[in-house]
A and B are shown apart, each in its own frame.
Chain A
Amino acid sequence: MHLETRKLLTITTEAALEQSVLEDLDRLGAHGYTIVDARGRGHRGSRNASWDLTSNIRIEVVCPEQVAEAIVTHIREHYYANYAMIVFLSDVDVLRPEKF
């Protein structure tokens, strides 16, 4: 079985940012993403999703390394200062590299 390595980019942030971040992902070359509703606690306090303003989402993108870096750079510059946001990268092995 042939496997190729790609980056898995995980973004956990405020639900209010969904539209804005998705536009960024499209523009910066991500071919797809998965979004799930999330809850949790961080240094901006508990975000328990009891209503709109305390809702979180987790966005996952599998993409080539340079796309991941472009997204991370953009996100760091535009959102880190003012929004609740966690971003991390990990390596994943994929079966169909042409999809990502």
Chain B
Amino acid sequence: MTSSIDPIVLFFLLGLIAGLLRSELRLPQAIYEFLTVLLLLAIGLKGGIELAKQPFGELLMPLLAVIIMGTMLPLVAYPILSLVGRFKRADAASIAAHYGSVSVGTYAVAIAYLGAQQIDYEAYMPLFVVVLEVPAILVGIVMARGVSRDTDWGKLAHEVFLGKGVVLLMGGLFIGWIAGPEGVEPIAPMFFDLFKGVLALFLLEMGLIAASQIGGLRRYGLFIVGFGILFPLFAATIGTVLGWMLGLSTGGTILLATLAASASYIAVPAAMRLTVPEANPTLSISASLGVTFPFNILVGIPLYHQFVNLIQNLGG
């Protein structure tokens, strides 16, 4: 195994340091959105092409297990936030929802990591990203509001299922699946050859954004930092065990552990802002972007790789 740092991680550090030093560096918002769209489509397309090569078959079981994991994680996070962190109900529920859902940026870095180490993973992993994005949002809203209150579920379903992440990932999957490997060939340079370059620029901006969350961390203190590191470690352990029980490959288990450990910063904040407005968005974003995202990128992913090696050695 090589121990040299992947250059894309250095781009993240560049953004982080430039942000902390209050450099004037800033990517235009439209560029940031474009990079996100490219990453989401590339991940979807890659999964779709692989799915075209093999029958769906035994997908139902793993998908169900992963959905249950996505539902349970916020239910575990909530009492910790509420009892130990002493957050208000809405805040605890909102942060819990962020940690039950996933970060596509983190997933993309994990894919790049596996690529660099030449570790294979299951083709259907992007489906896991899609199904993990949703349940935690619903659990979070129910924890904040209860079911009886007048939540507009139609509007919520629209927000959750037609959000940018789900539409582009599923869209990419379908396009890749229908077009197949040869069909996608002409657009491959855009989505696959440029993937790491796009990811590098994306991470540069993520570094800048993460640096801008430091103010929030200073205000809300040590608990957020501790939670933002310890909860992902716990969730990654769950993800590792689940991946092992499902019989996933080493790469697939690392990705599932990373997905479990990652916290949302696109779909969940947007949904929470509209459905649980009394929750303070700065709290959950400081935790998810200021602590957990950098932790996963810099330390987490290689560490989860060790988790997986460990369980595979123990389990034989």
Chains A and B belong together in one complex:
yes
Residue of B nearest to A49 (CB): B29
Residues from 1 to 17 in A contacting B, C-beta threshold 8 Å: 14, 16-17
Given A16-B273, A51-B32, is A81 in contact with B281 using a C-beta cutoff of 8 Å? no
B215 / chain A contacts, CB cutoff of 8 Å = 45
Contact across chains for A53 and B29 when beta carbons are under 8 A apart? no
A55 / chain B contacts, CB cutoff of 8 Å = 29
Q: How far is the CA of A52 from the CA of B266 in the complex (A)?
A: 8
We find that the number of chain A residues with CB closer than 8 angstroms to chain B is 16
Q: How far is the CA of A53 from the CA of B283 in the complex (A)?
A: 13
Select the residue from B29, B32, B212, B278 with max chain A CB neighbours within 10 A. Answer: B29
Q: How far is the CA of A14 from the CA of B205 in the complex (A)?
A: 21
The proximity string for A residues 35-55 relative to B, scoring 1 for CB distances below 8 Å and 0 otherwise, is: 000000000010011111101
Contact across chains for A50 and B273 when beta carbons are under 8 A apart? no
Q: How far is the CA of A52 from the CA of B163 in the complex (A)?
A: 13
B285 / chain A contacts, CB cutoff of 8 Å = 53
Contact across chains for B274 and A20 when beta carbons are under 8 A apart? yes
Contact across chains for B29 and A51 when beta carbons are under 8 A apart? yes
Q: How far is the CA of A14 from the CA of B277 in the complex (A)?
A: 12
Residue A83 CB within 8 A of the other chain: yes
Residues from 258 to 314 in B contacting A, C-beta threshold 8 Å: 265-266, 269-270, 273-274, 277-278, 281-282, 285
B278 / chain A contacts, CB cutoff of 8 Å = 81-82
A14 / chain B contacts, CB cutoff of 8 Å = 273
Residue B86 CB within 8 A of the other chain: no
Residues from 36 to 79 in A contacting B, C-beta threshold 8 Å: 45, 48-53, 55, 79
Residue B209 CB within 8 A of the other chain: yes
Partner of A82, one of B33, B212, B277: B277
Contact across chains for A50 and B208 when beta carbons are under 8 A apart? yes
Residue of B nearest to A16 (CB): B273
Contact across chains for B212 and A53 when beta carbons are under 8 A apart? no
A50 / chain B contacts, CB cutoff of 8 Å = 26-27, 29, 32, 205, 208-209, 212
11 pairs, CB–CB < 8 Å, chain A vs chain B: A14-B273, A16-B273, A45-B282, A50-B26, A50-B32, A50-B212, A52-B266, A53-B273, A53-B285, A82-B277, A83-B277
Binding site for A on B (CB under 8 A): 26-27, 29, 32-33, 205, 208-209, 212, 215, 265-266, 269-270, 273-274, 277-278, 281-282, 285
